[in-house]
Amino acid sequence: MENEQIIRTEYSEVMQKSYIDYAMSVIISRALPDVRDGLKPVQRRTLYDMYELGIRYDRPYRKCARIVGDTMGKYHPHGDSSIYEALVVMAQEFKKGLPLVDGHGNFGSIEGDGAAAMRYTEARLQKITQEAFLADLDKDVVDFAPNFDETEKEPTVLPVRLPNLLVNGADGIAVGMATSIPPHNLGEVIDAVKAMIKDNQITNEGLMQYVQGPDFPTGGIVVNKDELPEIYRTGTGKIRLRGKVELEKGKNGRERLVITEIPYTMMGANIGKFLNDVAGLVETKKTSDIVDISNQSSKEGIRIVLELRKNADTEQLINMLYKKTRLEDTFSVNMLAVSDGRPEVLGLREILEHHIDFQFEVHTRKYRTLLNKELAKKEIQEGLIKACDVIDLIIEILRGSKNQKQAKDCLIHGVTEGIRFKSKASQKAAANLRFTENQAAAILEMRLYKLIGLEIEALQAEHETTLKNITIYEDILNNYKSMAKVIIKELDALKKEYAVPRKTVIENAREAVYEEKGPEEMEVVFLMDRFGYSRTIDKGTYERNKEAADHENRYVIPCMNTDKICIFTDTGRQHLVKVMDVPFGKFRDKGTPIDNLCNYSTAEEQCVFAECMQKVKMSVLVFVTEQGMCKQVEGNEFDVAKRTIAATKLADGDRVVSVTCLDETKQFVLVSAQGYFLRFAALEVPMKKKTAVGVRGIRLSENDRVEAVYGLDGTGDPVVLYKEKEVHLNRLKIGKRDGKGAKPRG
């Protein structure tokens, strides 16, 4: 087209702007609650839709599928699952301090069971939702905005009368930010609001005289009371939570630990994980005090029972549960909410300030609307009362008028032309009439029975009531104390009907001290056969089967069960295996492949040396490679925490042939593949770091390589076979390191 215009722009700028727009949309319109009503858009729309559908607390339940479909079609076009999930959470008593929806059917359980499909479940509004969240919507108390397709109107915020953001808390993940607000006790929060209305200079510490801390629907114990003032001042921090543990007497003098309340963070799948963790403590012999564990939880509440053996150390066991399981957990607080269209982290005082400002705005709009209605009524009532006094004249005007307009003009402006009057006096009186347009319309529509004496008296009484209401409303609108009194009265009514006792205990508790007992030390023998299967046996078993053990296994290493085994491979790596991880058993047990216990892979590398860490770190290790490089390394360099490290540096294509503990070794004999033997003093091998390549031990000809390494301690007459000939190593000529060596005579 001729009018087409191509706009050239930087791609990164378009992406950046688009992503920022998307991020702000998620933050404001999806993930974060509004500080005024404490609701996310999906929650607000669902509640408003239920209100519009007439699914009130005193009416029958309706299918959730109907609610979800209607909400999605009218207000929230983002998929049915998000709407149903929001509806379910608002009905779950174990997640919300104040459930807003009355659910009928399977709405899930505290143990993580999901709700039934929306076609099976039913719901309606709770009474408090109707009274404190959706009341007065017809009185212009909040702004309404067009929905997504501009076919409906929806409230931008609900006129909530209590700080729902604190009472029910909130959690949500936006783009680059997340909110996590714990639930609080309704009665305490209302008391804090009242205190702040009466004294707007009250400090955060003053407010915490009323709001002790979070009140989780699952109960539990908050154990860091002293840290709460700072958390509520800044809006961020960590709350430490513990489950409630009770001690009960069981059969045969045994005791049992009963968990009756759990941390809020343990809800759902974490209850099952807790049971598995406790079972794991028993299996790994971290404790022998627990005989049995059972989950006896029901609709009545949580009850997890740990049966204990006789004379169990219950205090030590409880501390271990706090340390090793989620029976003690942290709740991360980040009180982030949308305030004036922007995400903001708010402290307790700021949240209550926003709530009170919102309450005064809502009540101002409500009473202004009511005042305008009363003023309109007053105008009509005054007109009707005045009309009753001159009713004969009005009837004469109506009978003498040709049409309604003529009569109306006479009533409003005193226009008498064209109207037939019985006398000049009547015409003169009619010319003095000055009713307002609204009064004139009401007079023309008035029914004759209104002229009965009692009806006139009722009209006058109603007029007096209207005047009283106008006085009250004007006082509320013009006087801060009067409006504050109204708000406090409403809060008192809500507290009286809906407040419940606190469930969560707030205290300062000592850190759970649990000293993990190390395993009892004992001497064992580590065995690894040529296929890499390893096991440990006790020292006595080894001594009884010494000959068979030495013959059948490649490595036989006496060690302690608390030690580690070092495995050095031809690739120059060192792998560590905890002796405790190696299966302990009988002599004829098969054992476990060493691959399963560490990062050593028999498919990629070969073990050239194995020894216990205790001996390695007290020794000096000598490395010899295929290309003839050698070095000494202090053994304590290999005492590391990592399971796998590089034990030496290798040139390209090189591999480790031998690693030995120097100990009593005085000389080395290096044997090449082409039959060269080089004998030299061990002291000629220099001390290096494990990261060094080393020095040349033997000068090799092309295509030759070191095949074997022998250590001599100067005693005995060691003999090796070479090409089926015996070679006496002690009879070889002593040379120098870096020599070529010689072939043995023979």
Which residues does the annotation mark as catalytic?
120
Nearest to 697 by CA among 668, 675, 673: 668
Structural tokens at position 291: 């005989």
- The phi and psi torsions of 616 (rounded to 5 degrees) equal -60, -45
From the list 171, 183, 51, the residue with the least C-alpha distance to 123 is 51
The angle subtended at Cα 43 by Cα 41 and Cα 45, nearest 5°, is 65
Q: Which residue has the tokens 């034990």?
A: 647
Task: Supply the DSSP symbol for 162.
Answer: S
C-alpha separations of 306 from 109, 309, 589, 704 in Å: 22, 10, 35, 68
Q: 191 with 207: CB under 8 angstroms?
A: no
DSSP characters for 230-260?
HHHHHSEEEEEEE-EEEEEE-GGG-EEEEEE
Q: What does each C-alpha distance from 285 to 11, 159, 333, 562, 585 come to in angstroms?
A: 60, 57, 36, 15, 16
Tokens of 533: 């299967």
Alpha carbon distance 638, 616 (integer Å): 8
Between CA 589 and CA 529 the distance in angstroms is 12
Task: Collapse the DSSP code of 36 into the 3-class scheme (helix H, G, I; strand E, B; otherwise coil) and give the result.
Answer: coil
> What is the per-residue DSSP string for 553-584?
-SEEEEEETTSEEEEEETTSEEEEEEGGGSPB
Nearest to residue 160, comparing CAs of 362, 369, 370?
A: 362
The conformation of residue 31, written as its DSSP 8-state character, comes to: I
Q: Element (H or E) spanning 429, and its range?
A: helix 424-431
User: CA–CA separation, 740 vs 677, rounded Å?
Assistant: 8
Distance CA 590, CA 279 (A): 27
**Residue 354 to residue 38: CA distance in whole angstroms:** 11
> Residue 158 in contact with residue 39, Cβ under 8 Å?
yes
State the DSSP string of 624-656: EETTSEEEEEEGGGG--SSSEEE-S---TT--E
Q: Which of 241, 142, 318, 720 is nearest to 506 (CA)?
A: 241
- Residue 628 in contact with residue 739, Cβ under 8 Å? no
